[in-house]
Amino acid sequence: MKILVCISNVPDTTTKIKFAEGNTSIDTTGIQWVINPWDELSLTRALELKDDASIGVKSVTVIHVGEASAETTIRKALAIGADDALRVNASSSDAWFVAAQIAEVIKKEQFDIVMCGIESSDYNGSIVGGMIAEFLGIPSVSAVSGIKVENGQPVLTREIDGGKEIVTVPLPFVAIVQKGIAKEPRIAAMRGIMMARTKPVKVVEPVKIDPLTEIVSFEKPVPRAACKFVDADNPAQLLDLLQNEAKVI
């Protein structure tokens, strides 16, 4: 079985987002770039499946649509344990563009399971995974919080409102994964970091695709009123505010 893990390159969660060029783009100075947290969990699970020799995962490949500046993040994924990487050499314009590029690569390379994080912490799209599946005409399962392989058959746990469902789909498929897919993300061991330098990163040129959406400007969230403090001995006052001022209870 060959697994493909799609990874996004995003600013670290604690980054203070600032805008540039008249609020039309994000100011990237000083940003620490990391692997999208959901993709990190996704990669961890893929590697856990590979560690179990009885399952027979031949390789775990990571793919990223982005420019050469993303190389560090790709190497991090290799250091964590991915066997090889593919980079589509293009700036990621929108979800449609990214999904189409990845689908083109998958058509040539053939993977059994494609794993995508449910969203990326930059644009919170939740779109790319499903699009890849539709471009390829293969099934996709979303909100996946667990993947196992039993007797050669992948068994997925997906979250539904108020509970979970255990489902199976035939190979190949796209698993769109969320929290629960792995307990915590794997870190790169020193051995992994050293070996990452020798693992192949194949760069492919993009196919011509026009994006369907575009971000034209950004704005900061509307600042909310400063916190009104209520005395710890007077909780009734809090309830009064919630009832009569905020009108939420």
Partner 1 sequence: MSVLVYTENWDGKFKKLSFELVSYASGVAKMLNTCVTAVSVGKVDNNELLSLGKYGAGKIISIVSDSLTAFDSQAYSSILSDIAVKENATIIVISNNNEGKAIAPRLSVRLKAGVASGVSRLPLNLNPFTLYKRTFSGNAFAHLVIKSDIKILTLAQNSFDLIEAPVSPAIEVVSPAIDGSLMKTVVKDTQKQTGKILLTDADIVVSGGRGMKSPDNWPPLVELASLLGAATACSRPVSDEGWRPHEEHTGQTGKIIAPNLYIAVGISGATQHLAGISSSKFIVAINNDKDAPIFEASQYGIVGDALKVLPKLVEAVKEIRK
Partner 2 sequence: MTKQIIFAITLLITLGAFSYTILRLVRFFRLTRPAFPVRDFGKRINVMLTIAFGQTKIFRRPVIGMFHALVFWGFCVIIFGSIEMVIDGLTGTDRILKFLGPAYNIIIASGDIFALIVAISIIVFLSRRIFFHIKRFEGIEMNKMTHIDANIALSIILFLMLSLLAMNTGYVEYKKLAGEPAVGVYPISRVIAGFITNGSSETYRLVYESSWWAHILLIFLFANLLPYSKHFHVFMSVPNVFLSRLDPLGKLTNMESITKEVRLMLDPNTAFAASASDTPPERFGVKDAEDASWKNYFDSLSCTQCGRCTSVCPANITGKKLSPRKVIMDLRARMKEKGPLMVKNGRDFNDNKSLLRDYISEEELWACTTCNACAKECPININHPTLIVDMRRYLVMEEASAPGELKALFNNIENNGAPWQYSAEDRLVWAKDLEINVHNG
The answer to whether the beta carbons of residues 96 and 211 sit under 8 Å apart is: yes
Binding range to partner 2, per CB under 8 A, among 28-36, 89-97, 116-124, 159-167: 28-36
Residue 45 partner contact from partner 2, partner 1, none using kind-dependent CB cut-offs of 5 to 8 Å? none
Would you say 164 or 199 has its CB closer to partner 2? 199
Would you say 144 or 196 has its CB closer to partner 1? 144
Binding range to partner 2, per CB under 8 A, among 113-121, 123-131, 189-197, 220-228: 189-197
Q: 246: burial class by Cβ within 10 Å (0-12, 13-18, 19+)?
A: exposed
Asked if residue 50 binds partner 2 (CB under 8 A), the reply is no
115-134: contacts with partner 1 (CB under 8 A): 118, 121-131, 133-134
* Distant-in-sequence, close-in-space partners of 81: CB < 8 Å, separation ≥ 6: 43, 47, 50, 60, 186, 188, 192
Give dist(CA 43, CA 47) in Å, integer: 6
> Exactly one of 166, 187, 189, 207 binds partner 1 (CB under 8 A); which one?
166
Binding range to partner 2, per CB under 8 A, among 54-62, 124-132, 160-168, 197-205: 197-205
* Distant-in-sequence, close-in-space partners of 42: CB < 8 Å, separation ≥ 6: 5, 6, 115, 116, 117, 177, 181, 182
Asked if residue 155 binds partner 1 (CB under 8 A), the reply is yes
Asked if residue 52 binds partner 2 (CB under 8 A), the reply is no
Asked if residue 12 binds partner 2 (CB under 8 A), the reply is yes
- Binding-site size for partner 2 (CB under 8 A) equals 27
146-185: contacts with partner 2 (CB under 8 A): 183-185
Give dist(CA 24, CA 47) in Å, integer: 38
> Exactly one of 20, 166, 171, 189 binds partner 2 (CB under 8 A); which one?
189
Would you say 15 or 23 has its CB closer to partner 2? 15
Find the shortest distance in angstroms from Cβ 22 to partner 2. Answer: 22
Would you say 146 or 192 has its CB closer to partner 2? 192
Question: Is the four-CA dihedral 12, 16, 17, 19 of positive or negative sign?
Answer: negative
Q: Which amino acid is at 142?
A: S
User: Which contacts of 27-33 are long-range, i.e. CB under 8 A and separated by 24 or more positions?
Assistant: 33/9, 33/69, 33/70, 33/72, 33/73
Asked if residue 220 binds partner 1 (CB under 8 A), the reply is yes
Other C-beta atoms closer than 10 Å to the C-beta of 113 total 22
Asked if residue 98 binds partner 1 (CB under 8 A), the reply is no
| CA-only gyration radius of the chain, Å | 21
Residues binding partner 2 (CB under 8 A)? 12-16, 30, 32, 34, 71, 75, 80, 183-195, 197-198, 201
